[in-house]
Amino acid sequence: MQITDDKQHQVKPLNSWNEGAARQSIIDFVKRVTTEGSPDFVPVPERIAVFDNDGTLWCEQPVIQLAQILGRWEEMARQDPALRDQQPWKAAVDKDWTWFRTAITKHYGGDESDMPALSKGLLTAFEGLTTEDFAGRAAAFFRTGTHPTLKRLYRDCGYAPMVELLRFLEANGFANYIVSGGGRDFIRQVAGEIYGIPQERVIGSSTAIAFHEQGDGGDLLMKAKLDVFDDGALKPTRIWSRIGKRPIFAAGNSNGDIPMLQFANRPPRPALRLLVFHDDAAREFDYVSGAERSLALAKQYGWTVISMKNDWNRVFASEEVKK
Amino acid sequence: MQITDDKQHQVKPLNSWNEGAARQSIIDFVKRVTTEGSPDFVPVPERIAVFDNDGTLWCEQPVIQLAQILGRWEEMARQDPALRDQQPWKAAVDKDWTWFRTAITKHYGGDESDMPALSKGLLTAFEGLTTEDFAGRAAAFFRTGTHPTLKRLYRDCGYAPMVELLRFLEANGFANYIVSGGGRDFIRQVAGEIYGIPQERVIGSSTAIAFHEQGDGGDLLMKAKLDVFDDGALKPTRIWSRIGKRPIFAAGNSNGDIPMLQFANRPPRPALRLLVFHDDAAREFDYVSGAERSLALAKQYGWTVISMKNDWNRVFASEEVKK
């Protein structure tokens, strides 16, 4: 393992991480699995690391892809004025966030009355586009899309300590994958730039696509139908279907990541599981909603909990590293 | 492009290929897309090549995975004697190939009476195993499994010229993927050894798997349910879902590969499509069944047809290269 330190006038690994249990557990784990002859040695091809995206590698308050969809609904309503009187296009045009919040609150209370409209809006947003059209739109979104409260480009909303972690693992022979509940073809347009993760290592949710042949060619067209919501127990199945191996390293931040973290554990082989805990209202956000069970299991099973407030000396690359 | 020749006392690329239109079309294409400054230049990350497996990279007469399933049915019948009187276990134990052939013939004639039994046998063959159990069984099958008429190990049934093609493409910056109608988790156990293709670049058919959590771990268990039959129009959708890019090079041998070959074509970007034509009764097999439409389209659209008899100076690595 190549760990350099300040004495050698080189940047130490995980430089945006404060000294502490979280940083040390990562360094110790990587040393164990990369030390040849150690009982915990894991050969390079088996060094698979999987990362949730929203809330683990970048901000999820609000979910970034929603901004893309809201923009698309406004665009659709401009092109077809009849949509302006229908939800969710009406709320998007009026920037009526209350309608969306109420729909979600009603849903959690068992009232599904707004769900058909919301669901139709989500599924038809990109219906009929080719996969390349969609990729182009996602790329365009990331060129200018800006976070409403953090006042930075979405593509600058990646967590600097996690990007350092990706590089540290890579330097130690790991292959990093994203396994996200977010949209696969959306994340793929930005994962290379932010995380250095190539498109083929992004696993995520998707609407159905279907091939339409045309002479000696053809396109994949997006359908108004959910293909898969890549969350919870589906994360392990999709990791296996894509990679054919069990990861030894898994990082998440919410209940939807629990099965992925469990799946990474196959004794006697070592495994490291990380849970990012959002407790940093000053620099990012402070919330536990959606992470109650994962935090309880982290305590029960000894997963490494990362306190954004205490374990990271900076959150975003635009901030200075504090020594 | 690094093409060496005999004058340099090095092995020339595609050494098992006879001089001719097929070999030349490959060499010309690779030169076009790798020559910087050429209008047809394709950057390395976009150099994606996809290969069907059965009948394209190795023999498909009979389909090799059927041998594994027949062996499994015999094993199941040994463990549960009640199965010996039920099809398809009975036919497997009695080595009654006529029953299988008749079932398929009846199916093509519109008589589905044997299909429920066959389907149940296929789906339950590995029900309840973990994905790792299955991988271990597939690996064991390949250690000794032998082709009934070619009298060689199945793992020696890969086509030497195609393996050379994989290496040639790789040396020129291509990433090679298998996109097979065959079983993903079956092929993954041998793709590295035969083709030098890692598990994560094998896309194929699968039965459903589901995660069963158990304390701080859990397993993926195989279900008696088809997940996806990766053939025909599903090949492009799965290439996109895994890779997020369109290939520029596609090789197949049957009607089920047509959409994949069409998908590789997106003018003005160059594309090469290959179709392996089985016309070599002496060294392999001679058949057109299942490839009628693909051969007609190859003629119509100018895809490169590879005559095993005329374009390959050897079929298997165990044969001498003829100079």
A121, HSE (Cβ side, Cα atoms, 13 Å): 28
Position B322 confidence tier, pLDDT thresholds 50, 70, 90: confident
Position B3 confidence tier, pLDDT thresholds 50, 70, 90: very low
Nearest to A240 among B131, B263, B300 (CB): B131
Q: Does B245 touch chain A (CB under 8 A)?
A: yes
Q: Residue B10's pLDDT is what? A: 57
N-term to C-term CA, chain A: 24
Q: How far apart are CA B210 and CA A310, in angstroms?
A: 37
Q: Among B210, B154, B211, which residue's Cα sits nearest to residue B186? A: B154
The 10s digit of each residue's pLDDT in B98-126 is 998 898 888 888 899 999 999 999 999 99
Confidence check: pLDDT of B12 > 90 = no
Q: How far apart are CA B284 and CA B150, in angstroms?
A: 8
Question: Environment class of residue B268 by beta-carbon count within 10 Å: exposed (0-12), middle (13-18) or buried (19+)?
Answer: exposed
The 10s digit of each residue's pLDDT in B255-294 is 999 999 999 999 999 999 999 999 999 999 999 999 999 9
Q: Residue B81's pLDDT is what? A: 95
The 10s digit of each residue's pLDDT in A187-216 is 999 999 999 999 999 999 999 999 999 999
Between chain A and chain B, the number of residue pairs with CB atoms below 8 A apart is: 110
How confident is the model over B15-23, as a mean pLDDT? Answer: 97
Provide the whole-model pTM: 0.94
Asked if A242 and B200 come within 8 Å (Cβ–Cβ), the reply is yes
Min Cα–Cα distance to chain A from B98, Å: 35
Q: What angle do CA B88, B91, B92 make, to 5 degrees?
A: 85
Confidence check: pLDDT of B232 > 80 = yes
Most A CBs within 10 Å: which of B50, B216, B222, B293, as the mutation test of the A interface? Answer: B216
| Residues of chain A above pLDDT 70, percent | 96
Amino acid at B89: W
- Please confirm whether the linkage preceding A45 is cis (ω < 30° from 0): no
Query: Dihedral sign, CA of A282, A310, A165, A186?
Result: negative
Per 3-state DSSP, chain A is made up of helix, strand and coil in percentages (nearest 5) of 45, 20, 35
Nearest CA in chain A to B212: A233
Q: Does B263 touch chain A (CB under 8 A)?
A: yes
Asked if A188 and B259 come within 8 Å (Cβ–Cβ), the reply is no
Joined tokens for residue B105:
């013939």
Q: Residue A10's pLDDT is what? A: 57
> Are the CB atoms for A27 and A13 separated by under 8 Å?
yes
Asked if A244 and B200 come within 8 Å (Cβ–Cβ), the reply is yes
The 10s digit of each residue's pLDDT in A119-147 is 999 999 999 999 999 999 999 999 999 99
| Residues of chain B above pLDDT 90, percent | 90
- Which residues of chain A have a pLDDT value below 70? 1-11, 323
The 10s digit of each residue's pLDDT in B55-68 is 999 999 989 999 99
Q: Does A242 touch chain B (CB under 8 A)?
A: yes
> Are the CB atoms for B248 and B42 separated by under 8 Å?
yes
Residues of B in contact with A236 (CB under 8 A): 211, 218, 220
B187 three-class SS: helix
The 10s digit of each residue's pLDDT in B63-89 is 999 999 999 999 999 999 999 999 999
Query: Cβ–Cβ contacts within 10 Å for residue B224, how many?
Result: 15
How confident is the model over B156-183, as a mean pLDDT? Answer: 97
